[in-house]
Amino acid sequence: MKFIEAKDVNVYYGDNHVLHDINLSMKENTVTAFIGPSGCGKSTFLRTLNRMNDYIDTFRLTGKLEIDGKNIYGKKVKVEELRQEVGMVFQKPNPFPKTIFENVAYGLKIQGNKDKDFIEERVEKSLKQSALWGEVKDKLHNSALSLSGGQQQRLCIARTLAVKPTIILMDEPASALDPISTAKIEELISELKASYTIVIVTHNMQQAARISDRTAFFYLGNLIEYDKTTEIFTNPKNKQTENYITGRFG
């Protein structure tokens, strides 16, 4: 039961106003896609959902961002706890320069987990969930950097799954991958939907159409339109949305 709700969210970098009055809610067990041209604020918004922007000195946010009715920018919120709940997969695969096993076990270890059997079990389960187990089960102690790009990205997904988040944020997770690896990731996303709330930023409109249930279109820091994916792609209500998805700009 995880739903996300943004109320009048504004984001500033110093004097730069990058997100204007964003209002939207995302339901559990759905895939929501954020689309829009580069620099439209979609990645910035995604990153506010697990407070990845916190370490930028000039970052400032007003309004409310709630997960299950709890403001995640509230004073008592521990950002580390939030991020265990809201996992993130990044644009480029970014495995640690450690072994495959150590990568997946990392999240558990930083939580102070020392139970070896438990960790091994969880690592195996996560790798199976991310459809990587078959390919790596015999070389768990090889360096993660020896994997191909697509495998690395699935490893990063396994690493995120291992800490049992309920929401997974994905920032263009397939943009650095070849078509076959992309297809595998997309397939994986559809499977994960059953148990997770997924928010994905993508540049690729076909991808948004294929995998998401709902789509939000961002432009120049504004949320222009947000609706069921089928509606957005077949019957956009806004002219700008239509221009963008038909490829007239972007």
Given the complex with other proteins, which of 83 and 214 has the nearer CB atom?
83
* Alpha-carbon span 129 to 122, nearest angstrom: 10
Q: Cβ distance 153 to 189 under 8 Å? A: no
Interaction of residue 78 with other proteins, rule CB under 8 A: yes
Spatial CA neighbour of 160 closest among 187, 199, 117, 134: 199
User: Which CB sits closer to other proteins, 32 or 50?
Assistant: 50
- Report H helices in the chain: 42-48, 79-85, 100-110, 116-129, 133-136, 149-162, 179-192, 205-211, 229-234, 239-245
Q: How far is the CB of 239 from other proteins (least distance, A)?
A: 36
Nearer of residues 132 and 245 to other proteins, judged by Cβ: 132
The verdict on 173 binding other proteins (CB under 8 A) reads no
Residue of 44, 48, 130, 160 interacting with other proteins (CB under 8 A) = 160
Q: Interface residues for other proteins in 83-102 (CB under 8 A)?
A: 83-84, 87-88, 90, 92, 94-98
Nearer to other proteins, 8 or 80 (CB): 80
Is the CB of 170 or the CB of 209 nearer to other proteins?
170
Q: How many CB atoms lie within 10 A of CB 96?
A: 14
70-71 and 59-67: which strand pairing? antiparallel
Closer residue to other proteins, CB minimum distance, 112 or 247 = 112
What's the full length of the chain, in residues?
Answer: 250
Compute the least distance from the CB of residue 77 to other proteins, in Å: 12
Per-residue binder mask for other proteins (CB under 8 A), 19-58, x = binder: -------------------------------x-x--x-x-
Burial class of residue 98 (count of CB atoms within 10 Å of its CB; 0-12, 13-18, 19+): middle
Paired residues of 60 in beta bridges = 12
Count, residues near other proteins per rule CB under 8 A: 29
For 119, the token pair is 């960790």
- Are 155 and 99 in contact by the 8 Å Cβ rule? The answer is no
- Our finding on whether 247 is near other proteins (CB under 8 A) is no
Whole-angstrom distance, CA of residue 131 vs CA of residue 167: 19
By CB under 8 A, tell whether 13 contacts other proteins.
Answer: no
For position 81 contacting other proteins by CB under 8 A, the verdict is yes
In terms of Cβ atoms closer than 10 Å to its own Cβ (0-12, 13-18, 19+), residue 131 is middle
Check binding of 163 to other proteins (CB under 8 A).
yes
Nearest CA to 83 out of 99, 63, 101, 106 is that of 106
CB of 150 to other proteins, least distance (A): 17
Q: List residues near other proteins by CB under 8 A.
A: 50, 52, 55, 57, 78, 80-84, 87-88, 90, 92, 94-98, 106-107, 109-112, 156, 159-160, 163
